[in-house]
Amino acid sequence: LYTLFIIIGVFVLTFNGEDISNSLFEVVSAQGNAGLSTGITKPGMNPISELMLIINMFVGRLEIIPIFSIVGFVLHFRKRKR
């Protein structure tokens, strides 16, 4: 699943006009919280690409198990509320 987020991130950045090798580097760097960049992250970046990198950073920081726990808790709480 960790790899799936990387693949989706690369697809989104590539779809928005970036080179595939730079996209892969940026997404892996964001998900690994390394802070390295090839220079494609900039203030004028496409908002969809920015959001994808933010999600990758969040997933990489929390790891995957806590994210599943949070999503499961929210879904369970919503189901219980009805």
Cβ atoms within 10 A of the Cβ of 12, count?
20
Condensed to tens digits (0 to 9), the pLDDT of residues 41-61 reads 888 889 999 999 999 998 888
Tell me the whole-structure pTM to 2 decimals.
0.75
Sequence spans of domains, the chain: 2-81
Torsion-angle region of residue 42: left (phi > 0), alpha (psi -120 to 50) or beta?
beta
Condensed to tens digits (0 to 9), the pLDDT of residues 65-81 reads 887 888 888 888 777 66
Secondary-structure breakdown of the chain: helix, strand, coil percentages, each rounded to the nearest 5: 75, 0, 25
- Angle at which helix 47-62 crosses helix 20-31, to 10 degrees, equals 40
